[in-house]
Amino acid sequence: MNPPGSLGGLEEKEEEDLSTPILGPSIYSDNPQERIQARRLRIAARLEARRREALGEYLDGKKESEEDQSKSSKQKEESRLKLAKLLLCGTELVTNIQVATDIREIHRRVEEEEIKRQRLEKLENEVKTSQDKFDEITAKWEEGRQKRIPQDLWDVLSTQQVHCAALIEDKNKLISELQQELKTKDDQYVKDLKKQSDDICLLLERMEEQVKNVMKTFRQELSYIEKAFEIERQELLTSNKKKWERALQAHNAKELEYLMNRIKKVEDYEKQLNKQRIWDWEEYNMIKIKLEQDVQILEQQLQQMKATYQLNQEKLEYNFQVLKKRDEESTVIKSQQKRKINRLHDTLNNLRSKYAKQIKQFQEENQSLTSDYKRLVMQFKELQKAMRHFALIDDKQFREIWLMNEEEAKDLISRAFDVDRIIHTHHLGLPWMAPDFWFLRNVGPISQQQQKSATQILEEVLMQTEEEGTEEAASEAESYLDLPKQISAKTTRKILMLLCDESGFLIESKLLSLLLPLEKNECYLLKLDAIFSALGIESEDDLYKLVNFFLRYRVYHSPSSQEQTSLMSALEPGEKRDLEEQKEESLGEGEAEEKEHPSSPKLIHPNDVLKILEAFVMGLKKPRDSRTPVKLKHVRDDSKDSEYWEALTTVIPDTTQNLWDALYTALEKYHLILTQRAKLLIENNSLEQQNTELQMLLQQYLESKINSELQVPPTQVFRVPTK
């Protein structure tokens, strides 16, 4: 701090310096401990209250805290407010001086400005007037120069002097005035200094007073607060003491009660203990006696046990001896057995080696046999091949010979028929009917006609059905010939189409792609071919079996297909046979059967096709296995051959032959006559020729020139026949 009473110009700074400590903390540091204590308490209380509020007892806690605040907190709050007010007022009081100085300074400045302005005005006026006067004087100097008379000049000069003196007087007056002002200002300055020092003193006084005041009030408030706390503490103490005393009394009473109870209990227990002791004693004695008895008994038992023990020991020793002997024996046996085992091992090894040798032998044998077998199989296969080859050749030859013979026979027959027809028509004048026999149409060996492959039939069927639209009736008859079964071609075709559509999975995808560009029928044909090869259908019979199977299946299953499938699968193999037999039987009565089954394979649902196929394949398997080897041999039955050939010989019946014989004789006669007639005719002809020659000669004569020279021409004599 700067010492007071410094220069006036620095005064305001001083004031600030002095006033700041009041606001600063240094003034508070006089008695910090108490204040810290009080504030700490207050903060703690406040924080406690806040925490309680925060913990949820918001409203209750507030009320409670308000109640709690009753004395100490209220006192604290009051003190705080009072102290704050005091501080504020004190600060205001102290700063009032500064403010007052400020406003005085402002007033001073305003006044100063006013005075300055006035002074300046005055000075200006003065300058103006003095200038005027000076001008006047200078003008008079001119005037004075013109004066020639010394007295006038003197007058002028004296007046000039007077004027100058007046001017100087004015100036001096002004100067003195200003100096006066300056002096007053100096006085003022001194006064101001004094005033300011007074102010500073006042300020200091006030500050000190304030400090004292604040300290006093702080102490007072602190004592109040302490008192409040003391009172509260006292109250708390008394209340707690009361509580404590009450509790203590209750405690004492209880303690007494407990003590009494305890004494009673102790007595009881003592009695009980005594009783117990007596009882125990008695019991103890009893038990002792009993136990002694027991001991005796046990000793007896012990003796017995000892005896038995000795006995047992002896027994066991004997047993041990026996066992030892046995053990020795067993060791001997063991060694024997071991030797035996060794021997057996040797034999086993021998046997093993023998066995290995034998295995080798047998393997070699086996190999040689297998090679033999293979060779034989090869031979057999070659043989078979040769046989097949020969069979084929035989077949061919047979066929060729057959065909040749047949052709010959047919030529003969046709000639016979021609002859017969000529005879009938020309000679007998009867209408001739060409005899219609089945064997006439036959070409090639008879038995081969029936065994067509499935594909051929397929082709036929398809081709036939194609033409069906135009000539149904004819085809019906024809198909009947080809398919002497109970199924119409149409039905077959439909079934096959269905099969083809439904079982496309059996066809190879490569084939399918190849089939795309082909015609519809061809396509079907190839597809079916593939399907049949997959299903194992090779012959016509198989095909018809299949178709038949389809139809039957439908018949069986149309009412309740589900049941029937199971039934079918159950009695498959037997049923199959039946079916085949039925088929054989139904060969003759095909038409009738077909009528029974209204041929509408549309009734077979496409979804059933697969089931049917499955059932069929299952059924087909067995018969096929047995059939395949038979098929290879394929013996041709020549029972019908002789019949056929016989039939061929008897193509012209006996009646006709008789007729022919009679006719022959008659014709012979007729021929004779005719030959006679022919001779006659030839005679006739020669005669006529002679005639014509003669006529020609005549003509020549007549027309000769000699005749004209003759008096009488011969022509005139006779009438010449003109053509």
Binding positions for other proteins, rule: CB under 8 A: 1, 6-7, 9-10, 12-13, 25-26, 28, 32, 35-36, 39-40, 43-44, 46-47, 50-51, 54, 84, 92, 95-96, 99-100, 102-103, 105-106
What is the chain's length? Answer: 723
At 262, the amino acid letter reads R
Residue 453 backbone dihedrals phi, psi, to 5 degrees? -80, 160
Residue pair 218/210 in contact (Cβ under 8 Å)? The answer is no
CB of 90 to other proteins, least distance (A): 14
**Helix axes 540-557 and 520-535, enclosed angle (nearest 10):** 90
Cα–Cα dist 184/162, whole Å = 32
CB of 19 to other proteins, least distance (A): 13
Residue (103 or 694) nearer to other proteins, CB: 103
- Which residue spans within 544-676 are E strands per DSSP? none
Question: Which residues are 539's β-sheet partners?
Answer: 453
Cα–Cα dist 268/274, whole Å = 10
Residue (109 or 306) nearer to other proteins, CB: 109
CB of 15 to other proteins, least distance (A): 11
Residue (219 or 334) nearer to other proteins, CB: 219
CB of 216 to other proteins, least distance (A): 20
CB of 35 to other proteins, least distance (A): 7
Cα–Cα dist 521/532, whole Å = 16
CB of 84 to other proteins, least distance (A): 8
Cα–Cα dist 387/204, whole Å = 157
CB of 47 to other proteins, least distance (A): 6
Residue (54 or 289) nearer to other proteins, CB: 54
Residue pair 61/49 in contact (Cβ under 8 Å)? The answer is yes
CB of 109 to other proteins, least distance (A): 8
Query: 294-328: b or e for each residue (b if 16 or more CB lie within 10 Å)?
Result: eeeeeeeeeeeeeeeeeeeeeeeeeeeeeeeeeee
Residue 451 backbone dihedrals phi, psi, to 5 degrees? -90, 85
Residue pair 4/200 in contact (Cβ under 8 Å)? The answer is yes
* Structure-block tokens of residue 659: 């007729």
Cα–Cα dist 519/340, whole Å = 89
CB of 142 to other proteins, least distance (A): 35
Cα–Cα dist 634/390, whole Å = 13
CB of 6 to other proteins, least distance (A): 7
Residue (55 or 516) nearer to other proteins, CB: 55
Cα–Cα dist 667/662, whole Å = 8
CB of 105 to other proteins, least distance (A): 7
Residue (46 or 399) nearer to other proteins, CB: 46
**Helix axes 150-422 and 639-649, enclosed angle (nearest 10):** 60
Residue (113 or 563) nearer to other proteins, CB: 113
Residue 488 backbone dihedrals phi, psi, to 5 degrees? -75, 160
Residue (179 or 319) nearer to other proteins, CB: 179
Cα–Cα dist 21/29, whole Å = 11
CB of 131 to other proteins, least distance (A): 23
Closest to 546 measured CA to CA, from 512, 503, 591: 503
Question: Which residues are 453's β-sheet partners?
Answer: 539
CB of 60 to other proteins, least distance (A): 19
Residue (153 or 178) nearer to other proteins, CB: 178
Residue (99 or 555) nearer to other proteins, CB: 99
Residue (92 or 471) nearer to other proteins, CB: 92
CB of 44 to other proteins, least distance (A): 6
Give 673-708 as a DSSP string: HHHHHHHHHHHHHHHHHHHHHHHHHHHHHHHSTHHH
Place of tokens 């005055």: 122
Cα–Cα dist 173/268, whole Å = 135
CB of 12 to other proteins, least distance (A): 7
Distance in angstroms between the alpha carbons of the first and the last residue of the chain: 204
Residue (1 or 678) nearer to other proteins, CB: 1
Residue (84 or 401) nearer to other proteins, CB: 84
Residue (48 or 328) nearer to other proteins, CB: 48
Cα–Cα dist 320/313, whole Å = 10
Residue (11 or 540) nearer to other proteins, CB: 11
Residue pair 52/190 in contact (Cβ under 8 Å)? The answer is no
- Angstrom distances, CA of residue 511 to CA of 213, 267, 462, 516, 529: 126, 121, 20, 9, 11
Cα–Cα dist 289/287, whole Å = 5
Cα–Cα dist 558/495, whole Å = 16
Residue (43 or 256) nearer to other proteins, CB: 43
CB of 197 to other proteins, least distance (A): 14
